[in-house]
């Protein structure tokens, strides 16, 4: 007890994190939190299966399988391997299409690191569904606090400085999941979190390449590695989560709003965001606005398109002249052009053919996006000027998929089906959906694992 008190007294934020990891194992989570964890699982499985043949996934899978590591963790639509390698592949898969969930406070994409870790360890250790759910929630809540804070918070400040929050806060989130499922005590959990902190990294300039989805997979892999190191007696620094710790290394000015670690008092998972479009979240409000304007174009010739967006949109997705399908996902200008051409902005619209679509390319030259200080991330305004002198204006107040305008379960189901039926067939897609939607039921993990066996 003295050691634990000393840890909390000397490193109070680290103490709060490790105490929550311990307490959450047996915590009775609110119903709405468990429900959101299952919605996140549905979305995670859908976007991962939809990206099973993505080139980034193929490369990571080839390398991982080349290590010939045996284990009982399931690679999605593949074989089995060690938990760390399964999490690496599955986490990369979940983020490959940039269609996965987002934390609105800025922590990045939580399910890739956290669900990949939870499922891999749950399968390998034959754990219960309740243990796996509790660990996912634990990791999500810790990742959200360590990367949250909104526009002036941690995640957004990391992005302004060129770092990807998923690759930084995601490592801590995945480590919390792994520490929970591995039964680590407070001291060992602190060592695991310290080991994760010293591995943190991931550059935003990877957007538009295979590097960005790899961030999510590597965060999951490193979370498991950190827990395994701690379990084997590894001693790491415990100070990284204090004000002068990793934050000071990444945000050296110290100009950042650091969220309270009110773990177990409020639930960040309740505000989880889900995507309707297979592109950077920063583009979504503008896409929705442009789609709303499309029916009103009535064949008129567009002279100019002016879009007003949140400043982070221009940082993360302000590429005015994307050249590849991956780059188009991080170009709000290109996304607006596609939407004004009537495309739905699903994964099928971020291909070589759509990148070179002559109508969209011609319109792209007429699109100008401007950052507006004080505008909310979920808002956008678009003004269109026509060659005949007429004008058209549209705006989105709260983009669909945001917690203030959430996707319904039917909408998530529709997205899931579009992504999974081509790979699984209708019957198994439905079975997987209902298994994930009722994941707290005994036997669900075993059923889910069996449905994810494949040949890739």
As a whole number, the mean pLDDT across the chain is 95
Query: Tell me, what's the pLDDT at 125?
Result: 97
Parts of the chain belonging to CATH 3.30.1330.120: 281-396
The class of domain 281-396 in CATH terms is alpha beta
Is residue 394 predicted with pLDDT exceeding 70? yes
Tokens of 34: 């468990």
Tokens of 311: 């400043």
The DSSP secondary-structure symbol of 123 reads: H
CA neighbours within 13 Å on the CB side: how many for 228?
Answer: 11
Q: Terminus-to-terminus CA distance in the chain, angstroms?
A: 49
Antiparallel, parallel or unpaired: β 302-309 and 367-371: parallel
The class of domain 8-275+427-452 in CATH terms is mainly alpha
Alpha-carbon separation of residue 174 from 115, 149, 220 (angstroms): 8, 19, 5
> pLDDT confidence of 6, banded at 50, 70, 90?
confident
Query: Over the stretch 88-123, which tens digit does the pLDDT of each residue have?
Result: 999 999 999 999 999 999 999 999 999 999 999 999
- Phi first, then psi, for residue 384 (nearest 5°) are -115, 130
Evaluate if pTM is beyond 0.85. Answer: yes
Stretch 47-58: mean pLDDT, rounded? 97
CB within 8 A of 388, min separation 6: which ones? 300, 301
366, 304, 310: which is closest to 334 by C-alpha? Answer: 366
CB within 8 A of 266, min separation 6: which ones? none
Is 305:368 a contact under the CB 8 Å cutoff?
A: yes
- Phi first, then psi, for residue 80 (nearest 5°) are -120, 150
Query: Tell me, what's the pLDDT at 353?
Result: 86
Give the whole-angstrom CA distance, residue 98 versus residue 93: 10
Stretch 51-70: mean pLDDT, rounded? 97
Is 77:49 a contact under the CB 8 Å cutoff?
A: yes
Query: Over the stretch 231-251, which tens digit does the pLDDT of each residue have?
Result: 999 999 999 999 889 999 999
Parts of the chain belonging to CATH 1.10.4100.10: 8-275+427-452
| Contacts within 8 Å (CB) and 24+ apart, 383-387 | 383/305, 383/306, 383/308, 384/293, 384/297, 384/302, 384/304, 384/305, 384/306, 384/340, 385/302, 385/303, 385/304, 385/305, 385/306, 386/300, 386/301, 386/302, 386/303, 387/300, 387/301, 387/302, 387/303
Give the whole-angstrom CA distance, residue 354 versus residue 352: 6
Query: Over the stretch 271-291, which tens digit does the pLDDT of each residue have?
Result: 999 999 999 999 999 999 999
Query: Over the stretch 252-268, which tens digit does the pLDDT of each residue have?
Result: 888 899 999 999 999 99
CB within 8 A of 54, min separation 6: which ones? 93, 96, 97, 213
* Integer Rg of the chain from CA: 22
């Amino acid at each position: 007890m003295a050691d634990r008190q000393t840890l909390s007294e000397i490193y109070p934020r680290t103490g709060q994190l490790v105490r929550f990891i311990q307490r959450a194992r047996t915590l009775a989570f609110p119903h709405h939190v468990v429900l959101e964890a299952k919605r996140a699982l549905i979305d995670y499985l859908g976007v991962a299966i939809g990206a099973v043949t993505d080139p980034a996934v193929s490369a990571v899978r080839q390398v991982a399988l080349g290590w010939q590591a045996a284990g009982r963790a399931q690679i999605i639509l593949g074989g089995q391997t060690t938990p760390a390698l399964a999490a690496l592949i599955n986490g990369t898969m979940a983020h490959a299409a940039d269609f996965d969930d987002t934390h609105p406070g800025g922590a990045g994409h939580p399910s890739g690191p956290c669900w990949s870790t939870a499922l891999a360890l749950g399968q390998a250790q034959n754990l219960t569904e309740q243990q796996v759910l509790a660990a996912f929630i634990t990791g999500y809540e810790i990742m959200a606090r360590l990367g949250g804070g909104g526009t002036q918070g941690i995640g957004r400040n990391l992005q302004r400085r060129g770092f990807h929050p998923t690759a930084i806060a995601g490592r801590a989130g995945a480590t919390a999941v792994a520490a929970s499922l591995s039964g680590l005590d407070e001291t060992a959990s602190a060592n695991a979190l310290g080991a994760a902190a010293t591995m943190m990294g991931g550059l935003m300039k990877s957007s538009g390449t295979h590097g960005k989805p790899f961030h999510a997979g590597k965060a999951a892999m490193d979370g498991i590695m950190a827990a395994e190191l701690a379990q084997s007696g590894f001693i790491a620094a415990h100070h990284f989560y204090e004000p002068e710790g990793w934050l000071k290394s990444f945000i050296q000015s110290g100009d950042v709003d650091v969220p309270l670690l009110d773990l177990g008092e409020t639930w960040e998972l309740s505000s989880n965001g889900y995507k309707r479009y297979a592109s950077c979240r920063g583009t979504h409000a503008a896409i929705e606005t442009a789609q709303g304007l499309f029916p009103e174009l009535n064949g008129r010739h567009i002279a100019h398109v002016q879009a007003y967006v949140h400043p982070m949109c221009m940082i993360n997705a302000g590429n005015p002249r994307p050249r590849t399908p991956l780059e188009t996902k991080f170009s709000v200008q290109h996304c607006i052009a596609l939407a004004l051409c009537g495309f739905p902005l699903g994964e099928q619209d971020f291909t070589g053919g759509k990148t070179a679509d002559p109508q969209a390319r011609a319109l792209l030259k007429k699109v100008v996006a401007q950052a507006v200080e004080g505008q909310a991330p979920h808002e956008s305004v678009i003004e269109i000027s026509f060659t005949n002198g007429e004008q058209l204006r549209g705006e989105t107040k709260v983009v669909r998929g945001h917690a203030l305008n959430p996707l319904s379960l039917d909408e998530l189901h529709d997205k899931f089906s579009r992504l999974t039926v081509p790979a699984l067939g209708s019957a198994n897609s439905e079975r997987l959906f209902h298994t994930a939607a009722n994941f707290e039921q005994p036997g669900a993990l075993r059923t889910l694992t069996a449905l994810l066996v494949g040949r890739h």
